[in-house]
Chain A
Amino acid sequence: MMPELGQIALILALLLAIVQATVPLIGAHWRQPALMAVARPAAYGQFVFVLFAYGILTEAFVAQDFSIAYVAQNSNLALPWHYRFSAVWGAHEGSLLLWVLILSGWTVALAALSSRLPERFMARALAVLGIISIGFLAFTVLTSNPFERHVPPLADGNDLNPLLQDFGLIVHPPMLYMGYVGFAVAFAFAVAALIEGRVDRQWVRWSRPWTNVAWAFLTIGIALGSWWAYYELGWGGWWFWDPVENASFMPWLVGAALIHSQAVTEKRGTFAAWTLLLAICAFSLSLLGTFLVRSGVLTSVHAFASDPTRGIFILVFLVIVTGGALTLYAIRAPKLAAAPPVSLYSRESLLLLNNILLVTACAMVLIGTLYPLVAEALGWGKISVGPPYFGLMFFVLMAPLVWLIPFGPLTRWKGDSLPAVFLSLRTALALAALAAALVWIVERELPLKAVIGVCAGIWVIFGTLAFLLRRMRNAAPGRMLTAEMVGMSLAHIGVGIFVVGVVVTESLNVERDVRMQAGDMVEVAGYQVTLREVVRQDGPNFIADEGVFEIRQDGELMSTQHPQKRRYLRGQVMTEAALDAGFFADFYIAMGEPIGTGGAWAIRLYYKPMIRWVWLGALLMMAGGLVSATERRLRQTIVEREVVQSAPEQMPDALPERA
């Protein structure tokens, strides 16, 4: 009874989405306030129905209603109650419903908080969101109904999947979806602006916090996925350049470019075409990600059970939404004003370079991810593209960007003197070189490439601090540091920390597969790891062999680790690796199989220095995005309405408001 109500709720939501997508557009075209005013209530109504449907599905999981096929496939009588909430998004249908819910939520937030923006514009933006909602709701209702019954009803669900009962898997998908879906707001604004034929600095200013927040969520979503894979999957890796990982990384790269581009458009009125195009691309890449995960065209460890029908549906949707937006862009964008001249060295040109590098990196990831498809379509056989390719190319493209980061905030608009800016950064550079030299003295194993990388990361940190210092010294008190500047600085420092973490962990990590028995000692990266003994441990539904390992440095006991090899009653065998996490390094011990009968075991040892800095950097980037979204100025109306129109000459130099 309830699941059927859930289905009906989704159909009703779809109908409201159709209303939301069409009526306000007509209203905006014919300037009919009554029709335009339909947008907000339609959005609210849609949200109510979607929330209702989602609630029913959640309730089915919590109450363990195995008459619903989806619940039976993804949970089990033995599933602890707190994991039942996250099991809802454990597979395709449920996670899609979560997507729809989050999309609906963002739409409602936009509808509720946009009263100060022009009605015509908002009507169009909400209509665009309605079109997107139609796509996803139709997809759910027609191909991926989570409420299908299993007849006859099952007494118990499928075998439990231990990987799903984990904190990482609870937070990773929702955060990721918040990011993916959040870019729809910028997308809706861009399309609305293209329909209108102009880029109004007011809405760009207003949309900046939304984009920043979406990007921040995407950042933490990706970081959580990486962290989860690291400690759960057990192979020591934190990023595999897997197609689905790439699918989340591409919108992130374009989103980063979008954030910077929006800042320029909001402050200077320029880069309008970039802002529009990047906004379209960011969300389109989110949609592409959805396609890659659910269509089965690429082999990936993440992919949901794939279905060509679903693939076709999403592809058609993608063509309509992205193709439509890009067509609109092609027709309307050239009518936007051209940018005024700027010097070769100016903040504009630096940010232009920033955009180019980020977009190229994204293009590279796209080419690499889709290359197997291209090769097969063109008859070049089956080709693999993996981490060796992506890692190398990404480094080459991003290294110049990293080195340039400190220059951006200190360079003036329109034109500046490179020597002068460099001079103001000379202390930072000297300190960075000094710090890198110190690091190299302490850690002789570090190859030269890595020392330079560490220097780059520290340089970014010190360069950003140099900006903050200068700001605090020169600006009038009370206007020294805005939320925007603090957010930017946090994010840039996060990049620096991330770079240091990646460079060190990739250069110095040690992996060893060894044969050990009780009493054996192995040297790993200057630590002595001794296997004291292997004992039997009995768990609730498994029997385990537990290795007791002692990790020493210079004879002093640092920690004792207890990895296990578990054999479950149902026959599965699982490795429970022991992870000794530290701020400066992780130690990882996993038990393989017994060797022979003498009590010897195959053991894998990992030493991963500075790996936590990778996620710390990401955390700071997220914090930066959130902090800059709180900037008060972005909620203020621009006093003189600066409008970028078809008149090419007039570009205001003076900002109507002081930063």
Chain B
Amino acid sequence: MKHAETIPVEVAHIEQVTPLIKQFTLRPVGVGELPSFSGGSHIVVVMRAADRTFRNPYSLMGSPRESTSYQIAVRRHDGGRGGSLFMHREVALGTQLEIAHPVNLFPLVKLARKHILLARGVGITPMMAMVDDLDESSCPWELHYGYRGPGHDGFGARLRARFGDRIVLYDDSAGDVPEFARILANQPLGTHVYTCGPADMIKAVDQAARAAGWTGSHIHSEQFTAPPVGAPFDVNLARSRLTVHVPADRSLLEAIEAAGVDAPYLCRGGVCGQCETDVLERDGELIHNDHWLSDAEKAGGMKIMPCVSRACCTRLVLDR
């Protein structure tokens, strides 16, 4: 299996940074260092609970130059599949986990003449590492961070302490919100903007940038889409000759994996395309939750992204 090679790590430190977000420090088990990585990278953390295995992607927050530990931050979701709850409630100092090698789907563009980073809530995590890379370069940059209210600005305060005026903070509860049109206006040619936050924020930035004349190649985003829960359904795996039941609180990919089938994946968040699967037979509708397939492909109903999408079908046969 492509991702069989994981790195065993141990939780060395846990910090409650905001009421909803915990930061975990991961050290390699035994001797050795962790691989270097590029800012914007994430790792898939394998969490083995009693009755199921979670594989959740988390951005690397620490310095890419720090090889003795990795830092990740997890926002607690009470109504999800339970991965973040597992991290918050079951993981303690000394807990051993497995992590995959870093993958970067949200890199800084090396030819940019200026970088503008926009984040909200836990979306700040990839940028904590990116600013470390930016600090090594001589390229101008600025970061705008929105948080929900007092007590939720832990990461923002750290960044202000380190980088001063390059960091602009917005307290939601005080009615302070970033005006994307104003931030993006009058930027020099060659400026790139990077957004990490909820879907509506990413869309708003994209619209404001394009309205200001920015080209798509200079607008980048990363969205943390946890696989949405939904009504349970059954799926037939043609090549594996199995029928798999997908419970409400498990993704289609997780259910396939739990059945012992080795399905390809990479980001586990519906954006990279690696898990794209052909639909061989279908009687019903697919529920597409990804950002990979084109509108035409989604409408066609012949492809699905099992890491985040679901189905409402009386019969569904996949090429797995």
Question: Are the chains A and B members of one assembly?
Answer: no
